Chains A and B, each alone.
Chain A
């Protein structure tokens, strides 16, 4: 079987999986993405009927585009043979160690995004409860907590179910994804760190520094009931202490100074107050929290309490998908415009060039910002951003293609084809296009770099994707706002630069493979 036919079959398999998953309401990793597009609330409110079918409509559209590609690949791939020139270029590319290794790493990174909710997510992969097996991560249905013996009013929180099962030890178990957090809107309860008292001074467990800040004590009989809230300075009580009753209402206030009680102020008799002596005080850790293996925040959290690893992973997925759509769209428009203005010349060329001049004078960031601020941040979707990016980015591609078309048009093989009686479409698609197309690949890495950088930069200044998308730029801005939490900026910087570096090396190697510079160095 030829190479295009293999690709065609693979695409067909993806289409089949996506449709099967949609029909049976399954959440299959990555292929579920085709049917994940939804209209924003503002638009849904305007056309509720359209909003209902939009998901299927858009998914169907994407899949039918893919199906057209499958058919074309299958038909044209019948007698496919590798062009010896292409083979030589591939060989040359593989011989460039730095670029080739970067390419493999990059492929690995992209492959890593495919398992999707198997790696990152709040839904359990497998739950075994009383001889029943559940696979919550792979079905669209949301289970209630009582399915697993919990509260019927709550949605299932698999992290707490796991902890409960472990405590009960009745043979039930939960298998969570590697990172048990959703990419967005998923926070854990505040972490409580016990304070230990040495010589009348409070320290954080495992720390030698006296504790500063707010601390809370709970009823020893009911560990969820807050009884005291007190501020500590240099590890000693200082200032106001609030005392709570069983209902959680503040009933009394104490004033402390350097660890000794100064004044007590109570609205009502406070017999129910539990003596300070027997209480254990806890410090509440507000996000951003530092990386911790015990809490499964492998890279810590941001200031919203969302897991950093999950967001970086989600951000990588967004970048991959965005780059894919962007490259396809940009190259399609660029090649069509460039080729036609180069081949036909004259009026077509003149108009295309004027349009290009206007567009290239518009500052891209301004346009994106204006559109983003006019739509409202919540209504911006990844498609909006990609559309705006594409309005500008095809220009570069079309310039190259225009020149290439001018060059190829004048060559003998085109003249020969025309003498043999080939029509314009045949010359364009069978003769010029294949020759022009192959060099396009040298531009792909730079396009991907551009889309990754612009997406991150836009999110960074707050004109990009809304919060429902995990985003590196938002994280970077968050890290800059929280200087005492360096893990945020470090991990975002690391992944962003790693990705860009790999792409740059690959791009450099591809360019070298396509256009080797052979120098006769002078000795």
Chain B
């Protein structure tokens, strides 16, 4: 049952296949530019951007089900059948021979000292194939392209080995980039949760008790008005009218001199910076929760067991809080799974407006720079957390409602 409810798993892989294939075919503008492009430059570039193999193969490498080439080093056969390739990370070099058919072997490699290496010989025909794949038709490959030898170590480094790879534009590990931004997501997430439950629960209860009074109507209009305002539009307005006046900082999460401030000063600084983005995050989220609390509570207030409780002499206050409220909180428990999402939360738009370097901005800049490893990494993490969240939701429901069990 959990498997049915919880998306992810195999789905998530399909998703990445779909993400990978349109991206995999795209050619870099840099690869297209210039007449002076040599096949060697192209191959190096294709290697860096994982364009040297099919996108499916690249996907499996990313998953860790196929080995990827690491510590690559290449050399050209200037003339004849022998060339020298330097071993990456060492000062030594090895001699590589090839025959007419394109078979090659390594000479003088001290395997005990430097480990096992694989060799790939690329004939001009092989290089022409890659050239045709990446370079638009009107640029021909230079005719005198020499043979090429590539030395590499195949190794499994993918998702299954717990590695998300390195960012293509920054060369930093993706996992590190994500964890670096988690505190920001967590901060906003926790603040949002506190505010959301702290405001919506009491408001919902008051609205249910004071149904159809002016208080109910006005608060309804307010929460629905908030619901109608997109966070990014409000953010733009706040930046122009409030932050630009200097009442609140324009962007960022902390001031430049944050580390010099005392504890109280740091809290104040953080609150000052976080206030406006929080307003934008929160503005639309009250309506759902408040109305959910209100409607559920009203259903239960009209129930017979509350009537019975009052008839037996329980005070109204106790009937509401002790009987009706507890039951009406059950559906709200289903939303608890979403809490997991706060690890990687953060709206792309709001973070862009307020210049907060969080998870959303990471995704956005990865998209702009077409940094595939970051896109895949962030997607994997958020899909995984969604899955975990759904499972937690299911357990929470089963815990608060004895009627539900997973047998």
**Which residues of A are in contact with B by a Cβ distance under 8 Å?**
98, 357-358, 360-363, 365-366, 369-371, 373-374, 449, 453, 456-457, 460-461, 476-477, 479-480, 483-484, 486, 489-490, 492-493, 496-497, 500-501, 503-505, 508, 517, 519-522
Contacts and interface: CB of A to CB of B under 8 A. Distances in A.
B14 A358 contact: yes
B298 A479 contact: no
A461 B379 contact: no
B186 interface: no
A517 B15 contact: no
A479 B240 CA distance: 8
Contact of A493 (B14, B237, B353, B382): B237
Contacts of A362: 15, 18-19
A519 B301 contact: yes
Contact of B348 (A365, A477, A486, A492): A365
Given A492-B233, A496-B233, A483 B23 contact: no
Contacts of A365: 348
A391 B22 CA distance: 16
Contact of A476 (B18, B232, B307, B348): B232
Given A479-B240, A520-B302, A521-B301, A366 B19 contact: yes
Contact of A508 (B211, B224, B233, B386): B224
Contact of B349 (A461, A483, A503): A461
Given A453-B230, A456-B230, A489-B240, A461 B364 contact: yes
Contacts of B375: 366
B315 to A, nearest CB: 13
Contact of A374 (B26, B221, B299): B26
Given A480-B353, A483-B240, 17 more contacts: A361-B12, A361-B15, A449-B228, A476-B233, A483-B239, A483-B244, A489-B237, A490-B240, A493-B233, A501-B225, A503-B228, A504-B227, A519-B211, A519-B302, A522-B302, A522-B306, A522-B316
B298 A366 contact: no
A521 B233 contact: no
B11 A357 contact: yes
Interface string B203-241: 000000001100000000100110111101110110111
Given A504-B224, A504-B227, A370 B22 contact: yes
Contacts of B364: 461
Contacts of B26: 374
B268 to A, nearest CB: 25
A358 B15 contact: yes
Given A374-B22, A480-B240, A483-B240, A522 B301 contact: yes
Contacts of A517: 295, 298
B211 A490 contact: no
Contacts of A522: 301-302, 306-307, 310, 316
Contacts of B336: none
Nearest to B316: A522
Interface in B1-41: 7-8, 11-12, 14-15, 18-19, 22-23, 26
Contacts of B130: none
B352 interface: yes
5 contacts: A362-B19, A461-B364, A483-B239, A486-B241, A501-B225
